[in-house]
Structure 1
Amino acid sequence: MNTEFTNIAGNILDSIKQSKKILLHCHPFPDPDSIGSVLSMEAVLTKMGKEVTCIIGDSQYPEYLTSLPNHDRIQLKNYSEIDPKEFNLFIILDSSSLTQISQKKEVIFPDTLKTIVIDHHKTNSQFGNINFVDSGSSSTSEILFKLFDAWGIEIDRNIAICLLLGIFADTGGFRYPNATPETLHIVSELSAIYPDYHKFVFDLENNKKPIELEMLGLALSNIHEYYSSQVVFSVISNEDLRSRNISKEDSMEGLIGNTLRSVSGWTLVASLVEAEPDIVTVSLRTRDEKRYDVSKIAKSIGENGGGHTGAAGTTIHKPLGEAITSLLGVISEFYPELK
């Protein structure tokens, strides 16, 4: 480990040792990396004798992750529903901005609350007192493995499966370029601790609901191709959602975006879903991360935009037609060669 890592790992550990009551949270619409990193950190902090509170954020706990050990320790509360003054330390995991803590109400930290941000998104705004942002790691779960190792923590089965699923999900089942040799070495160590991880992976990969398949079918039936089919959007209006009684929680932009990216020849793709009138959620993907950085597009065009080079998201507060035009404009501005 390099000196910079050693120093920040030590600073984080010192802050934990100096704290009695610690808060953790999951970001809105939590994925396996969000849930896995929170549950693994909760387990480690509990081993250290800390009083730990975990909150879910703006969303419900995902049903397909209820098989993870101790998932019931995550309370179905929002940041606005707790008193942050009760805590000494808030460890903010897998969240690139304050809006990833909550979008329901402005997030304000009391002066008495120390904040530590641990994340792998390169668009992180570094809003904590201590910020450990490692965009070279595949996931926040991978970062936590490195921290736990540096702290001399014995990783048990419960911690191992939470970290393993977080890494598996954020690497697309090891299909994405962020699955480095170091990542796979870590996975090898974790799978040795929890060799019967296959059931969790199966549940993760096979958890679709009929409504989600309907949503995917709707998206694929509304394909818009631009620039000789190098840029492709799937477009779903709010009327489409309401007529089929589909809620915005079922909109599955990530699944749609990943499906679009799987098509050969479609270089830069986006799923646009008008979750509410004049509110369009966008999931961006690219097949060519060496030439295109969709996080730049997401950060430039919408509110709370960001993510990774190959996968990013944002929200555009415009009517659907204007959102499409604006997105095309930003893409052509950043990458005129696509036109």
Structure 2
Amino acid sequence: MLETLRELLAGARRAAVVTHRRADADALACAEVLKLVLERLGVEVVAVVCPEGSLLGGCSEDLPRDVDVYVLADVASLSQVPPLPGRAIRVDHHYAGDDVPGVVVNRPSCTEVALTLAEEAGVEIPPDVAKLAVLGIYADTGGLKRADAGTLRALSKLLERLGAPLGDIVKEGGEAWNTSKTMAFLKGFRRLEVYSSSVGLICATHVGAYESDVASLLVSVGCRVAVVASRKEDGVHVVFRSRDFDVASIARRIGQGGGHREAAVAVLKRRVSKSELPSILRAVVKEIAPDAKLVE
């Protein structure tokens, strides 16, 4: 893996590591570990960039232009980042996505891919990054529900490094609950439409922010598939979450995007009003299950 990354860098001296919009713990942890790997390879990392910021902080929202390469962390599709004015490669764990050269390994979290590169490069993970990596793995595996033996081995090494139990790290570093997030959840439930289908319950709604969180919550309360739409500068973002149902193929079919089998995003390149979102969601639901019927 490391040799592949070295070849892809192709003499680059300056780089920016870029996550997807509103970076979550896994994206930011992957980016911070990659920064260490790139520096070990002799590449100056001028910035870790989180477009539209991150609730975890610790990154820039501004995309630098004076770099030789953009290294995308946890980015399946170029629709998840602003237009890049230069060469890009990606380090990712999504089996479905755009045809961007990179190191792509099907793992439960992107942090694991970055940690493997770090191990191959002989990079020692400092405590602050190790703590973030624990949070990234924990969050992206659904509280370890999607973790496999490799995930647990990586997590064990991090916990040994930190000398602390998993529960303490998760409690200390958990994302703060705030009024904006609460409002997004309440609005999402107010606009919710639930469909019965051969797939199971499909839940669809739209919000202005926190789409992934709303979708994850819907799955946690029993929806087989959750679909959450929002309007962004580049079009309509449709976030999917599921329980054992391939939503990545649906995301690719309806727009630009990709992701995992159980977590994906599609970007529809069109300008719409908020009042049009329900009809878009209904069309997406029919793509998932043509026999879907609204539960009154």
* 1:319, distance to aligned residue in structure 2 (A): 4.5
Question: CA RMSD of the aligned region, Å?
Answer: 2.9
Q: Structure 1: how far apart are the matches of 2:180 and 2:60?
A: 26
Contact 1:40–1:162 (CA<8 Å) still a contact in 2?
Answer: no
Aligned residue number for residue 222 of structure 1: 191
1:267 to 221, 224, 238: 224
1:9 aligns with 2:2: yes
2:112 to 133, 142, 145: 142
Map 1:18-167 onto structure 2 (within 5 A): 18-47=11-40, 49-62=42-55, 65-66=56-57, 71=58, 74-79=59-64, 82-84=65-67, 87=68, 89-102=69-82, 106-109=83-86, 115-128=88-101, 131-134=102-105, 136-167=106-137
* 1:23, distance to aligned residue in structure 2 (A): 2.6
Q: Which runs of 5+ in 2 are unaligned?
A: none
Identity over aligned residues, as a percent?
24
Q: What SS class does the counterpart of residue 261 from structure 2 fall into?
A: coil
Q: 1:9 to 1:231 in 2, by over 3 A?
A: same
Structure 1 counterpart of 2:216, one-letter code:
N
Contact 1:297–1:331 (CA<8 Å) still a contact in 2?
Answer: no
Q: 1:100 to 1:325 in 2, by over 3 A?
A: closer
Q: What SS class does the counterpart of residue 174 from structure 1 fall into?
A: coil
Q: What SS class does the counterpart of residue 152 from structure 2 fall into?
A: helix
Q: Structure 2: how far apart are the matches of 1:96 and 1:319?
A: 27
* 1:99, distance to aligned residue in structure 2 (A): 2.9
Q: What SS class does the counterpart of residue 257 from structure 1 fall into?
A: helix
* 1:174, distance to aligned residue in structure 2 (A): 0.9
Aligned residue number for residue 153 of structure 2: 185
Q: What SS class does the counterpart of residue 47 from structure 2 fall into?
A: strand
2:203 to 221, 232, 237: 232
Q: Which runs of 5+ in 1 are unaligned?
A: 1-7, 237-247
RCO comparison, higher one (Cα < 8 Å, 6+): 2
Q: 1:76 to 1:206 in 2, by over 3 A?
A: closer
* 1:305, distance to aligned residue in structure 2 (A): 2.8
Q: 1:142 to 1:34 in 2, by over 3 A?
A: same
TM-score normalised over the length of structure 1 = 0.74
User: What number of residue pairs does the alignment pair up?
Assistant: 288
Q: Structure 2: how far apart are the matches of 1:320 and 1:262?
A: 26
Map 1:241-320 onto structure 2 (within 5 A): 248=208, 251-264=209-222, 266-274=223-231, 279-287=235-243, 289=244, 292-302=245-255, 304-316=256-268, 317=270, 318-320=272-274
Radius of gyration: which is bigger? Answer: 1
